[in-house]
């Protein structure tokens, strides 16, 4: 027989996982009848709470962890800067933990990380933050965390998060290209296991649909958030019998690869080919021409995620009241020199 879990206690007593966690941690905010019901369930099931998770709260651990798996150095550094800024504001230490998001032992690795380093909680960056099984395990173990996810709206799934509306930003980029007069717009994906990739693709597809432009699947290619994928993808698109007049790379590294491919093909950017990226990395400003992109405030996203986690921790230990609300960030369209109207074309109108 398997050992009972916090999920079993929640189901037996008819309350949420969070309520069970509050009872285990002896929070004063739990109603007496609810507390007694949960305690009866714990006794009946023989549930043994995770001792490390309880110890974190009883000893007031003042360090948090940032967990990430992202090949984009600019993203990682900006995220670290934001989380570290919040830690300095509130007097917390920071443990940075790069990991392999595809590892089958990731959940155990993170639970061990928290126990070994006595961390009060975790900030989960994509794609770990978007793995339902991992999130469920952390909740089951009573580990506090805040996710950074790609979502058009608040998921309202009972799990704290900071969400980024990649879809609306990708729509704005595609709409910008359409309003310039482009009808054949290529799209290069990032990693499919990052939710930002399908969200950005959906924004691109929605803009085409709203302007009455048929989506040509030959103009959409899979890939990764990497320069080489942008270069290879652009060469394939430019070799088509009817090539695109604009290419939207899912991030600035992809767009940089597109720019290199355009130059190697003797094309003049933006007059022969318009190029747009996503993120507003340093390269997007330093390239020639500078890249049209979406400005994603990665540092601020990280900072707010860390502050959200700290507010949750203070509430759980009775130092503050009220749960912080999930926050939304929408990357902002930044128009630069890499996009221009195509030659001899009339912009379509929105339908």
Residues with Cβ within 8 Å of residue 227, at least 6 apart in sequence: 253, 254, 256, 257, 260
Do 148 and 327 form a contact (C-beta atoms < 8 A)?
A: no
Q: Specify the pLDDT at position 55.
A: 45
What confidence tens digit (pLDDT) does each residue in 207-216 have? Answer: 999 999 999 9
Q: Specify the pLDDT at position 52.
A: 45
**Mean pLDDT value across residues 54-67:** 67
Which DSSP state fits 331? P
Q: Specify the pLDDT at position 26.
A: 66
Confidence class for position 22, pLDDT limits 50, 70, 90: confident
What confidence tens digit (pLDDT) does each residue in 83-107 have? Answer: 999 999 888 899 999 999 889 999 9
Which DSSP state fits 68? E
Q: Specify the pLDDT at position 157.
A: 84
**Mean pLDDT value across residues 223-239:** 96
Q: Is the dihedral of CA 279, 130, 24, 12 positive or negative?
A: positive
In terms of pLDDT, which residue wins out, 28 or 15?
15
pLDDT above 70 coverage of the chain, percent? 90
Long-range (24+ apart) CB contacts under 8 A made by 40-48 are 40/13, 41/9, 41/12, 41/13, 42/9, 44/12, 45/4, 45/8, 45/9, 45/12, 46/4, 47/3, 47/4, 47/5, 47/6, 47/8, 47/9, 48/3
| C-alpha separations of 11 from 24, 35, 117, 319 in Å | 15, 14, 31, 29
Cα distance between residue 173 and residue 179, in whole Å: 10
Q: Specify the pLDDT at position 59.
A: 46
In terms of pLDDT, which residue wins out, 94 or 4?
94
Give the Cα-Cα-Cα angle 75, 76, 77 (nearest 5 degrees).
95
User: Where is average pLDDT lowest: 74-88, 208-222, 305-319?
Assistant: 305-319
**Mean pLDDT value across residues 25-40:** 78
Overall pTM surpassing 0.75 (yes/no): yes
Q: 268 pLDDT exceeds 90?
A: yes
Q: 346 pLDDT exceeds 70?
A: no
H-state helical runs in the chain: 6-13, 17-24, 32-45, 51-58, 73-90, 106-117, 132-140, 166-180, 196-210, 227-238, 252-264, 282-286, 298-316
Cα distance between residue 94 and residue 97, in whole Å: 10
Q: 54 pLDDT exceeds 50?
A: no
């Amino acid at each position: 027989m398997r050992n009972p879990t916090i999920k079993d206690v929640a189901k037996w007593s008819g309350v949420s996982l969070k309520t069970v966690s509050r009872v285990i941690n002896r929070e004063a905010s739990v109603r007496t009848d609810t507390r007694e019901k949960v305690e009866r369930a714990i006794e009946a099931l023989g549930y043994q709470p995770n001792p490390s998770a309880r110890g974190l709260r009883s000893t007031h651990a003042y360090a948090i962890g940032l967990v990430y798996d992202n090949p984009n150095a600019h993203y990682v550094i900006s995220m670290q800067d934001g989380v570290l800024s919040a830690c300095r504001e509130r007097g917390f230490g920071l443990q940075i933990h790069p990991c392999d998001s595809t590892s089958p032992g990731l959940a155990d690795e993170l639970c061990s990380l928290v126990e070994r380093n006595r961390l009060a909680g975790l900030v989960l960056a994509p794609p770990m933050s978007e793995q339902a099984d991992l999130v469920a395990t952390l909740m089951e173990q009573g580990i506090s965390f805040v996710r950074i996810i790609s979502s058009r709206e608040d998921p309202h799934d009972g799990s704290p998060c900071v969400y980024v509306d990649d879809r609306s930003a990708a729509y704005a980029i595609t709409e910008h290209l359409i309003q310039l007069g482009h009808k054949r717009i290529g799209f290069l994906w990032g990693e499919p296991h990052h939710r930002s990739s399908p969200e950005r693709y959906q924004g691109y597809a929605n803009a085409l649909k709203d302007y009455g432009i048929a989506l040509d699947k030959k103009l959409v290619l899979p890939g990764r958030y990497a320069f080489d994928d942008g270069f290879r993808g652009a060469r394939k698109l430019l070799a088509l019998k009817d090539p695109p007049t604009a290419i939207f790379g899912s991030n600035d590294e992809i767009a940089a690869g597109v720019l290199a491919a355009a130059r190697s093909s003797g094309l003049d950017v933006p007059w022969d080919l318009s190029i747009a990226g996503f993120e507003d990395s340093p390269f997007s400003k330093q390239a020639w021409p500078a890249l049209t992109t979406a400005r994603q405030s990665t540092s601020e996203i990280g900072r707010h995620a860390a502050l959200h986690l700290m507010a949750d921790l203070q509430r759980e230990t009775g130092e503050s009241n009220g749960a912080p609300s999930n926050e939304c960030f929408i990357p902002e369209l930044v128009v630069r020199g890499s996009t221009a109207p195509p030659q001899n074309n009339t912009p379509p109108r929105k339908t």
